[in-house]
Structure 1
Amino acid sequence: MIKLPTVSLAAIGYEKFLWKNITELLKTGMLIIGIYYCRKIYKKLDDLQKKIDKGEQDKYDFQKKFEYSLDKIKATIDKGEQDKYKIKQEKDNIALEKELNKEIEQLKKEIERKKAQFKSAWREIPLYADWRKEEFQTVKLTLDAATAHPALFLSEEGRIVTWQEPCQELPSSPERFVSIPCVLGQLYVSSGRYFWEVEVQDAHSWDLGVCRNNVARTGRVTMSPQNGFRVIRLYDGEYWGLTSPETSLTLKEKPCRVGVFLDYEAGDVSFYNMTDESHIYTFSKQAFYGGLRPLFRLWSSDSGPLVIVQVEENTTML
């Protein structure tokens, strides 16, 4: 039996072989066997290299898949964080919305409460918008010379009153004001609703309103509702309602014309700035006893005139 060598020709090295050696090997068949085994070894080496190359490719593919998976996981985590943030934001928004709704409800309740108070006060003090809905009789009002204080001068048509010095010599009369410089209008009211308008543009100190026909005209006279007067006053640049004690009035602007609304049955006398139709003051819910008459007063020579605005006498919706 031929004993096979344990090394290949590649291991021995071709350059070391001599033709003699090759011939001897051919004789013994060793060269053929060596070539055969060398080819098998080369094939295995080639297969192994392919496997190695495939392993490297698989390793590369696996790494790529792994990185892709990591990216997906990271993206999922990021999305989860975003969703978590969105959920938190939604929760915060819901909480904020609830808080805002709560505050809105509280504001609505406060507004309703204020409206109720406002309406209640509105009923107590009739304003111009409400008075306009009622029927008032406008009259051609003139001044009653028999009641005029001697310091007051009346125009011929009886619509303008001014201060005059020295005082006039007038006949004595129980109807004439002596202690305070007043004059009454010719109108006598014991029922119904009446309206008149007075121009006060150039007057600096005056009283306007109504009084009972039988108020005191001599001696010390205090103008107040208790004494039969429902009057407002301009004096030294300040406006007053002559209540007891007096009520200070704040006006948006100085009136050029003052409207007087008298409702006898309701016990109301209201004053309005006819320039902007704003409310000045109201004497309300005070029952009248006896007849009422318009009242006008000047304070001194620099008071300026009071002029009754002439209107057509009719029944109209104001």
Structure 2
Amino acid sequence: MKRLAAKQEEITKNTNAVKDKIRKKYEDMKRILDEDLRITLTQLDTEHEAMEKLVEERMEDCYHLTQELNQELDNLDAYVKKDTQDVDIESAETEKRISETLKVTHPDLIQMDEFKNEQLLSLTINLLLLIRSQVPVTKKLFQSYAADVVLDADTAHPKLIISPKGDSATYTGTWQDVPETPSRFDNTLNVVSQQGFTKGRQYWEVEVSGKSYWELGLTYPSIPRKGRKEDCWLGRGKESWCVEYFNGDYTAWHGGVQHELTLLAGKQFTRIGVYCSFPGGLVCFLGADTMTPIHCFCTGTFTDTLHQALCPGHDNEGTNWKPLQIRDASRSAPVL
């Protein structure tokens, strides 16, 4: 007990140390981005100030010319009394001054460096895309644990159609002509994976878009498969863990204990990710689009082989015909 208590203290200490280091790195990233933003905006402000000063100078040139012309108009009588030739000469000189002033003060001659601005914006967009491609960082971590999940058609309820590759399950209102096996669910619309695992860490993702009812989770092989017992449903017995989605509401289940996830009510995800740490006794469900935590079970020690399990649900009054599709969890979903 003393050694276990020391181990517990060591785990807590190491976890806090890692959290502190990661927090500092995020703070460093924020400082770098804030400083880069300050430098970029300062440069743009400097150029803007220079352009404003140039415009003011051009306006002042036009103003002085206007003042001179007004003065010349006031002295028109004196010009008229002069020799016509002199008047023509001075008029030509005035027209020349006006033309030259209009030419050098034309607004089109004053332009921002649009190419530079476009380059700055492009670089900023690229930086944003780079950051988005790297976060959430947990996504990168979980992708390294991606599991190759193949559904076992011999376990599927007869009203489920399992794709030839074993990567999707679709509900059908028709009872399929399939052989009866001890491993087949005969009441609940469940199917489990062909392969199980007894060590390491596993992560898998399922496409759930367009569905109004589904269940996802993990189960021991010992989950009841026959009859109308409540334990046959995912999460209703001690053999399985699941998250259920029905008409906008999320519920987590294990051992028949219901956890209503009210904070997620109405929220929809394209993919759901399921992460399991066998040595850590951890089962986590996440909205894989943004790695939003849905629910985590801290189970302690697993006592048997774990299999991925899912239930695509019934037709739900015509709103739930789409399949549950297992996706390649080693790659991010495309951005639409």
Using the size of structure 1 for normalisation, the TM-score is 0.54
Distance 1:277 1:184 in 2: 24
Q: Which of residues 151, 154, 169 in structure 2 aligns to 1:146?
A: 154
Corresponding position: 1:228 with 2:239: yes
Corresponding position: 1:251 with 2:269: no
Unaligned runs of at least 5 residues, structure 2: 1-15, 20-135, 332-336
Distance 1:176 1:279 in 2: 32
Q: CA deviation at 1:164?
A: 1.1
Distance 1:155 1:226 in 2: 28
Distance 1:155 1:199 in 2: 14
Corresponding position: 1:262 with 2:276: yes
Q: Which of residues 202, 205, 210 in structure 2 aligns to 1:202?
A: 210
Q: CA deviation at 1:288?
A: 1.2
Residues 294 and 151 of structure 1: CA distance in aligned 2, closer, same or farther (over 3 Å):
same
Contact 2:143 2:330 in 1 (8 A): no
Equivalent residue number for residue 328 of structure 2: 310
SS at 1:242 equivalent: strand
SS at 1:246 equivalent: strand
Q: Which of residues 296, 313, 318 in structure 2 aligns to 1:282?
A: 296
Distance 1:267 1:165 in 2: 37
Equivalent residue number for residue 62 of structure 1: none
Q: Deviations over 1:149-193 (max 9, x none)?
A: 001001122111111121101111011011211001123011110
Q: CA deviation at 1:245?
A: 2.9
Corresponding position: 1:273 with 2:287: yes
Distance 1:312 1:256 in 2: 16
Contact 2:218 2:306 in 1 (8 A): yes
Corresponding position: 1:173 with 2:184: no
Equivalent residue number for residue 163 of structure 2: 155
SS at 2:264 equivalent: coil
Contact 2:269 2:288 in 1 (8 A): yes
Distance 1:142 1:135 in 2: 17
Corresponding position: 1:183 with 2:191: yes
SS at 2:307 equivalent: strand
Q: Deviations over 1:22-75 (max 9, x none)?
A: xxxxxxxxxxxxxxxxxxxxxxxxxxxxxxxxxxxxxxxxxxxxxxxxxxxxxx
Distance 2:253 2:312 in 1: 15
Q: CA deviation at 1:251?
A: 1.9
Identical residues among aligned pairs (%): 25
Distance 1:237 1:131 in 2: 25
Contact 2:249 2:264 in 1 (8 A): no
Q: Deviations over 1:259-299 (max 9, x none)?
A: 11011111101011111221111011332111010001022
SS at 1:232 equivalent: strand
Residues 189 and 300 of structure 1: CA distance in aligned 2, closer, same or farther (over 3 Å):
same
Unaligned runs of at least 5 residues, structure 1: 1-118, 123-127, 314-318
Query: Which one-letter code corresponds to 1:246 in the other structure?
Result: Q
Equivalent residue number for residue 250 of structure 2: 239
Contact 1:208 1:231 in 2 (8 A): yes
Residues 135 and 266 of structure 1: CA distance in aligned 2, closer, same or farther (over 3 Å):
farther
Residues 144 and 134 of structure 1: CA distance in aligned 2, closer, same or farther (over 3 Å):
closer
Q: Pairwise CA RMSD of aligned residues?
A: 2.5
Q: Deviations over 1:103-139 (max 9, x none)?
A: xxxxxxxxxxxxxxxx8xx9xxxxx866865785322
Using the size of structure 2 for normalisation, the TM-score is 0.52
Distance 1:132 1:185 in 2: 24
Residues 289 and 201 of structure 1: CA distance in aligned 2, closer, same or farther (over 3 Å):
same
SS at 1:137 equivalent: coil
Residues 309 and 135 of structure 1: CA distance in aligned 2, closer, same or farther (over 3 Å):
closer
Contact 1:255 1:275 in 2 (8 A): yes
Matches within 5 A, 1:20-39: none
Equivalent residue number for residue 218 of structure 1: 226
Aligned length: 188
SS at 1:146 equivalent: helix
